[in-house]
Structure 1
């Protein structure tokens, strides 16, 4: 019989030789049975709660291809700790008449799948609860429950009991200055993108040594992420804002916000970097931006950006209804910014166009009383689509552009 072995260990805290140890005892069983070992599948430092493991997926793929006759493992929980996944594996192997044998349980049947699968599921749940309890105890002492925020360093020291201390931090003065600079810049009216641009131009490394990004600064105010939302900078340690649950379809973890009453909040004055007055100014501006974006029950992210022109974000094509967008016009040597309908917009006549309108022209035409038809400059671009058809009669022939002549498409329009 063609036999294969599967081995796995869960975390980096376990011995790296764990896989080799599991393979060795499985080889011994194969030799006793007189089988032929054809392949070894393994996953190192990967949880059995997930089926998205390269070695495990390779095992399933080659089982479907009929490339072996029996599967060996040290125990059933090496294959999976999820009851649904182990049941699915057993069904697939049984369908192809491939026995699943473990050193601990022998040949696996429905009873093993039900009992061991349930026990593995309970083990994972119990482990998660104990881990959560331990982390909460650490936070209650004002220590970190994991990770390190920008502006702080990990303190590595040995305690009185001779064991390494964990969860202690200290303010990094150089990074703390950058944090205060970010808060002051935002409070004075600068956008996160502008702040990011300035930091990157100064070659100031962001968190983890990578360039700064706007989301790193602004983050998500509901989840407390981002430089501007981290309450640790004002001496408050907030933990348990969210929990992670696994999507049964994708197997990936999803962050779910916890209600505020479940948050754990501890005062850690030694971690303060930003004073209360500066923090309040930042929060006030953030609230103003959110109110502007979500006013009138209409969420409009573009309202958070300062418009370049009077009609930015307001103009739409009268023929197709598409929103206009910034473009570059060649009507002047300075290549002034223009507003244009989207490229290749289809007009009612079936034609396409990428015509542009200079924004200052729109503003002058709208704000100045119109006593005579306005003179619309031509961009000299080809096309007879919806934007061109919205031009006033004879506008192309009145254009001062040297490109506008009797041979141009615009001059022949009614």
Structure 2
């Protein structure tokens, strides 16, 4: 992510007057540290979707601001046929032909292209206030949406899922699952134990840092990878993943050690899965698991982010299923995005046993039982689970009528970075990697 600040300079009285006059005519107003769009202008632009989120980014001083630009394109490109490799190549060529002239025209000190997509006529860019105005005025740009930041939704539950017998007959051989997360510690003895790629983690990429090494320095992705497909063992508390025969792809969407990811990097990872689905023909990518999300939405949320919705449709069209965690806010009628998007299978959390009484931070509007004000929670509220039991929905799990599945959560033992293990992994991050791999 690039940093940017306007050059400081001493203004004469005349130049200051001219600057103010120019800002009024263009709709741009300068603050002390960074320029911000005029609020009236911003909300009056039909091309700009969710101007409140873009305004918040400018107001926070995180300039330049990251947005996703959708280009004018034939309607057929919104749902391209991606069933064969040759058609995928045709789609990439067609979108590149639309995108390249726009990129050549808009790139400047005020507009930087961060990410170009292969199967969607769109791209992620960073803009100053002047750059945002430039994009609005460009006739080949259809819409502009914020590049939202998605956050991680932080005994294995195998018995509750009745997966043991199935696992004895089918351990997942011939399938690869892409862990779209903070990366994977592929040096871990249960996750290949060798340099990248290896026998378990057979490929991947780091989209957060834009390099070829998806090593996990956060831990979250390694936790999820261990839940899905870590190698089994007859000793220790970690019994292995739900499907230890599955191969893994490590797709890191976070930057450095952080646990947050831009939506554009998630889309880039999803598209990578389509392009690289058959890199190993014996282990094609059939599943994407992502335990990241943002917000809470009742029912279908396809309109919230066009780029995520279109990409999810492309992935499904290619024969790949996306499983996403529902979120940890304790909402009783809403789930997070992208879990709420069409073509994404949403996964909520249930306990797999009586783990004793625990308190879980929830949002104020949660209808979780035994909720009370609690200053130690960043949300300001906690829900006390005085009694827990197998199959009981965890208080923090977002649920709604559109939720697709539940899977076991909380107090899971799984792999950790540094060839270590954790015994308290929970949240809806834990169940998301489970359903995709235990079903043949």
Fold shared by both chains (TM-score > 0.5): no
More strand as a share of residues: 2
Structure with higher helix content: 1
Q: Could you say which structure has the larger radius of gyration?
A: 1
TM-score, structure 2 normalization: 0.20
TM-score, length basis structure 1: 0.20
